[in-house]
Amino acid sequence: ETGVTQSPTHLIKTRGQQVTLRCSSQSGHNTVSWYQQALGQGPQFIFQYYREEENGRGNFPPRFSGLQFPNYSSELNVNALELDDSALYLCASSPRVAGRQETQYFGPGTRLLVL
Amino acid sequence: DQQVKQNSPSLSVQEGRISILNCDYTNSMFDYFLWYKKYPAEGPTFLISISSIKDKNEDGRFTVFLNKSAKHLSLHIVPSQPGDSAVYFCAASNYPFGNEKLTFGTGTRLTIIP
């Protein structure tokens, strides 16, 4: 059983550009959440997808958007990058069984640097 | 507004002794609390959780204590081992989210001295 994988591991972009980060969920997990971890901070919840639909969102502007695919893999898209978007982006997958959310398993993250 | 606070950025403990990591929260709607451990270049790994209907949960060397009136929880590791050296995050959520949509603290770096 493979764990949660993310690509790329590192990325450098310039202000104003757009970026797409990818996450492959753990096998059998139908829910994926994205978190942003700025330097020296804890992870902050961006949004969650369940069965290809957004299922909750944290305090992030609309230029942060996502997708979940039928195989439960996911993308995080960020438009009009700002310097403060520089952070580690973590993806977490979990199964939802009988309406109950089970433990989240995190990927290693993608480190984004915006210059 | 930091709703989950870990006021100690770092902690050093001798191998074999008890490690105590602390966490405070301000949102009284939180009713489920978790501890995650993070090694460099890896994602956070779930350690232990506690529901607000309990005041203690134990799993092997790890015990989490919850004091709802003080809005405080702590993680005890006994005995501490070198492999426990990592960053520990406290996290919380409110009904009905349980394990999801977590609010994290800023983390405490634990170093176990051999």
Give the pLDDT band of residue B26 (cuts 50, 70, 90): very high
What was the pLDDT predicted at A106? 94
A44: contact with B, CB 8 A cutoff: yes
Give the pLDDT band of residue B41 (cuts 50, 70, 90): confident
What was the pLDDT predicted at A92? 94
Contacts of A60 (CB under 8 A, 6+ apart): A36, A44, A46, A47
DSSP one-letter string for A23-76? EEPPTT--EEEEEEE-TTS--EEEEEEETTEEEEE-S--TTEEEEE-TTS-EEE
Helix (H, G, I), strand (E, B) or coil at A102: coil
What was the pLDDT predicted at A2? 66
* Stretch B56-81: mean pLDDT: 97
Q: What is the mean pLDDT of chain A?
A: 92
B103: contact with A, CB 8 A cutoff: yes
A108: contact with B, CB 8 A cutoff: yes
Which residues in chain A land under pLDDT 50? none
CA distance A14 to chain B (A): 24
What was the pLDDT predicted at A104? 87
* Stretch B38-50: mean pLDDT: 93
Of A43, A48, A90, which has the smallest distance from its Cβ to B100's Cβ? A48
